[in-house]
Structure 1
Amino acid sequence: MKFNSIIVLFSALFSEVLSLNILGVFPYQGKSHFFVFAPYLKEIARRGHNLTVISYFPLKEPVDNYHDISLAGKTKILEDVFPIYRSYWSIIQISFFLTNSGQENCITLLDDENVQNLWKTKQKFDLVLVELFNSDCALGLAHKLGAPVVGLTSHVLMPWHYEDYGIHYNPSYVPVLFLEGGTKPTLYQRIERSIFHLYFVYLHKLTCRRNNQKTLAQYFDDLPPLDDLAKNVNMLLLYTNYVLSGPGLYPPNVREVRGYHVTKPKELPQGLKKFIEESEHGVIYISFGSMLRATSTPRDKLEAIIDAVSEIPQRIIWKWEEKTLPGNPKNIFISNWLPQNEILAHPKVLAFYSHCGMLGTTEAIHYGVPIIAMPVFGDQPSNAAAVEESGLGVQIQIKELTKETLLEKLRIVLNPEFRKRAKELSKVWHDRPQSPMDTAIYWTEYAARTANYTFRTPANSVPLYQYRMWDIMAVILTILFIIFYSIKTVISLVQKRREERFYEFKTK
Structure 2
Amino acid sequence: MRHILKSVILFTSLICYSSSLKILGIFPFQGKSHFIIARVFLLELARRGHDITVISYYPEKNAPQNYHDIELEKKTVPTEDTLPIKNLSYWSVIQTSLYLTTMGKENCEVLLADKRVQNLIKQKPKFDVVLVEQFNSDCALGLAYKLEAPVVGVTNHILMPWHYRRYGISYNPSYMTFHFLEGGTKPTLYQRIERVIFDVYIRMVYYLISQRPNQNSLAEYFDDIPPLENLAREIKFLLISQHFTLTGSCLLPANVIEVGGYHVANAKPLSGDIKKFVEEADAGVIYISFGSTFKVSTMEKHKMEAVLEVIAELPYRFIWRWDDVTKDKSPYTELRSDLRSLLTNKKKLYISTWLPQVDILGHPKTMAFFSHAGMGGTSEAIHFGVPVVAMPILGDQPANAASIEESGLGVQISVSNLNKENLLAAIKKVLEPGFRERVKQLNRAWHDRPMSSLDTAVYWTEYAARNSNFTFRSLAADVPLYQFYHIDVAFVFISIFGIVITACKLLFCRPKTQSIKKKRN
Normalising by structure 2, we get a TM-score of: 0.93
Could you tell me how far 1:211 is from its partner in structure 2? 0.3
Alpha carbons 2:157, 2:242 under 8 Å: kept: yes
Letter in 1 for 2:256: V
> 2:513, 2:178 → 1: CA distance?
57
Q: Name which of structure 1's ranges 328-337 and 154-163 shifts more when overlaid on structure 2.
A: 328-337
- SS of residue paired to 2:470: coil
2:96 maps to which of 94, 118, 127: 94
> 1:159, 1:308 → 2: CA distance?
37
Alpha carbons 1:80, 1:291 under 8 Å: kept: yes
Match of 1:261 in 2: 263
Match of 1:358 in 2: 375
Letter in 2 for 1:319: R
> 1:468, 1:253 → 2: CA distance?
22
Match of 1:31 in 2: 32
Match of 1:413 in 2: 430
Q: Deviations over 1:348-394 (max 9, x none)?
A: 00000000111110100000000000000011100000000000000
Alpha carbons 2:401, 2:412 under 8 Å: kept: yes
- Equivalences for residues 34-183 of structure 1 within 5 A: 34-85=35-86, 86-183=88-185
Alpha carbons 2:248, 2:403 under 8 Å: kept: yes
- SS of residue paired to 2:257: strand
Alpha carbons 2:53, 2:69 under 8 Å: kept: yes
For the pair 1:477 / 2:478, whether they are aligned, the reply is no
> 1:428, 1:7 → 2: CA distance?
41
Letter in 2 for 1:69: I
Gaps of 5+ in 2: 327-331
Match of 1:376 in 2: 393
Alpha carbons 2:25, 2:54 under 8 Å: kept: yes
Could you tell me how far 1:497 is from its partner in structure 2? 5.8
Q: Deviations over 1:219-267 (max 9, x none)?
A: 1112111111111111110111000011121111110001111011223
Alpha carbons 1:175, 1:193 under 8 Å: kept: no
> 2:64, 2:79 → 1: CA distance?
25
Alpha carbons 1:45, 1:51 under 8 Å: kept: yes
Could you tell me how far 1:496 is from its partner in structure 2? 6.5
Q: Deviations over 1:259-288 (max 9, x none)?
A: 111011223231001111101111110110
Alpha carbons 2:387, 2:439 under 8 Å: kept: yes
- Equivalences for residues 262-411 of structure 1 within 5 A: 262-323=264-325, 326=335, 327-329=340-342, 330=345, 331-411=348-428
> 1:198, 1:450 → 2: CA distance?
35
For the pair 1:252 / 2:248, whether they are aligned, the reply is no
Alpha carbons 1:55, 1:72 under 8 Å: kept: no
For the pair 1:432 / 2:438, whether they are aligned, the reply is no
- Quick one: structure 1 residues 72 and 308, their matched pair in 2 at CA, closer, same or farther if it must change by over 3 Å? same
Gaps of 5+ in 1: none
Alpha carbons 1:46, 1:64 under 8 Å: kept: no
Q: Deviations over 1:300-326 (max 9, x none)?
A: 100111111211100111111223664
Q: List, as ranges, runs of 4+ consecutive aligned residues in structure 1 with deviation greater than 6 Å.
A: 4-11
For the pair 1:217 / 2:197, whether they are aligned, the reply is no
- Equivalences for residues 450-489 of structure 1 within 5 A: 450-489=467-506
Alpha carbons 2:73, 2:114 under 8 Å: kept: no
> 1:350, 1:276 → 2: CA distance?
11
Could you tell me how far 1:10 is from its partner in structure 2? 7.5
Normalising by structure 1, we get a TM-score of: 0.96
- SS of residue paired to 1:372: strand
> 2:106, 2:370 → 1: CA distance?
34
For the pair 1:207 / 2:209, whether they are aligned, the reply is yes
Alpha carbons 2:184, 2:399 under 8 Å: kept: yes
Letter in 2 for 1:34: F
Letter in 2 for 1:239: S
Letter in 1 for 2:64: V
Give the total of aligned pairs: 503
> 1:224, 1:119 → 2: CA distance?
17
Could you tell me how far 1:9 is from its partner in structure 2? 8.4
> 2:47, 2:396 → 1: CA distance?
31
> 1:172, 1:95 → 2: CA distance?
22
> 1:459, 1:262 → 2: CA distance?
33
Could you tell me how far 1:488 is from its partner in structure 2? 1.3
Letter in 1 for 2:287: Y
Could you tell me how far 1:20 is from its partner in structure 2? 0.9
Q: Deviations over 1:147-202 (max 9, x none)?
A: 00000000000000001111000000111111111000111111111111111111
Could you tell me how far 1:72 is from its partner in structure 2? 4.6
Alpha carbons 1:57, 1:72 under 8 Å: kept: no
2:194 maps to which of 180, 192, 201: 192
> 2:261, 2:325 → 1: CA distance?
33
- Quick one: structure 1 residues 491 and 302, their matched pair in 2 at CA, closer, same or farther if it must change by over 3 Å? same
Q: Deviations over 1:452-472 (max 9, x none)?
A: 011101111111101111011
